[in-house]
Amino acid sequence: MGRLQVVAVSLCILLLAVDGFDVLSISLAAPGIASEWGIDRAALGLVLSMELIGMGVGALIVGDVADRFGRRPTILVCLVIVSAGMALASLATGVTELSAYRFATGIGIGGILAATTAIAAEYANDRHRSMAVSLMAGGYPLGAIVGGVIVSVLLSYFSWRSVFVFGAMLTASFIPVVWFLLPESVSFLVEKRPRNALDRINDTLRRMGHAAIDQLPEQRRAANRPGIARLFEPGLAKITILLTAAFFAHIMTFYFFVKWIPKLVVDMGYAASLAGSVLVWFNVGGLLGSVLFGLLTQRFRLRPLVIVALVLSAAAVSAFGLSPTDLLRLSVTAAVGGFFANAAVVGMYAMFAQSFPTHVRAGGTGFAIGFGRGGAALGPIAAGLLFAAGGSLAAVALIMSVGSVLGALAIGVLGRSANHHRYQYPGSNH
């Protein structure tokens, strides 16, 4: 890949880090919120899920917007929404108010997820597409790790509100970076042909090291159906349904783990800062899993890799429920769980990018993520209800691990239906 392509994919990695930090921020803030407002586990589970519900709504709505109006403007608007949502969360005075701000924040993050997945896939060449998207998704644990270290320090000196103040400042700093460094993708410009499309394409091609073109390539016939309906056209319906189901099931398991680790470790008698360190180790494992998975896609087929990661993720989550309350062992088990759970997530992101063609790539990704985030919202809530009903950690972990198993089954049923959609840049022989 050329320099501009590397820069674009790198920016997408950093943008996904916002997602990682956001999820970590509310998880680490949870003990302080529960203590200040005196709420139980069931109520806390609902608060923890609100930005996940927002992510689902945002991915569904904003993903199609990105296919219609562009990836770059969509990302910029969503960054503004996330920054504002985090800033307002720091001022919340009650559960209802905080939940509303977290929902709004989630809408922005959901849009970023859909748009960045599309633009990373479109800036990477076909050979490196799966790796590029896998590494992009690795931004999630990267943001959680770096953010976790910073947040642990903040919580040692300030209240949980400082977490959201820092998050708002961090997110806002990306707005000028995206404005100046991230151009619209060539494939989108070719597909939608906005005003000055040829000039914009040639400018981007020159920055990528490709030759300029004299005229736009022949345009693919536009679909007459509305955005979401296009995902259920012949050849896409099976892919859309099974990828969405797989993501829903696994992400339920994933977010049970992410959202409840700090509170569970605190309840074992450890300080909030030490509980946060266990979550950091989960994300260290997740980052390693993302990188290794991306490298493995260069040598092995994507679908079998995803299935293996899902099965091992289920095993690791179950094992966490059986871990002794020793902090070191909890950290190691969490790291192993993070390794496989995140590898499976980034694998499915790569499947989104490879399975949906340009004209529905952001919308298809957004649809899968949007409905899939229903599982993300369900995970913490279901676990909270199971705990409230008297379930032990071992029992709850075993039950919640079933989601990853169901995800593996859905990917297995998908078989070879997920086709690779290749794109060759105009003016390029690569």
The Cα–Cα gap between 411 and 425 comes to: 30
Q: Which of 370, 302, 342 is nearest to 121 (CA)?
A: 302
DSSP state of 220: P
The Cα–Cα gap between 430 and 425 comes to: 8
The Cα–Cα gap between 16 and 122 comes to: 16
Residue 225 has pLDDT above 60, yes or no: no
Look at 215 and 329; give whichever has higher pLDDT: 329
Mean of the per-residue pLDDT values for the chain? 81
Range with lowest mean pLDDT among 171-180, 198-207, 385-394: 198-207
Model pLDDT for residues 249-261, shown as the tens digit of each residue: 999 999 888 878 8
The Cα–Cα gap between 207 and 57 comes to: 35
Q: Please tell me the predicted confidence (pLDDT) of residue 89.
A: 92
Alpha helices (runs of H) in 322-417, residue ranges in sequence order: 327-355, 361-388, 393-414
Range with lowest mean pLDDT among 26-35, 152-161, 297-306, 393-402: 26-35
Residue 343 has pLDDT above 90, yes or no: yes
Q: Please tell me the predicted confidence (pLDDT) of residue 428.
A: 47
Q: What is this structure's pTM?
A: 0.73
pLDDT, average across residues 21-48:
79
Q: DSSP letter string over 40-73? A: -HHHHHHHHHHHHHHHHHHHHHHHHHHHHH-HHH
Question: What tokens appear for 291 in the block?
Answer: 């990188």
Kindly give the interhelix angle for 327-355 and 302-321, rounded to the nearest 10 degrees. 150
The Cα–Cα gap between 66 and 37 comes to: 39
Place of tokens 């972990």: 397
Where do the domains of the chain lie, and which CATH numbers do they carry? 3-216+225-414 (1.20.1250.20)
Range with lowest mean pLDDT among 82-96, 187-201, 256-270, 382-396: 187-201
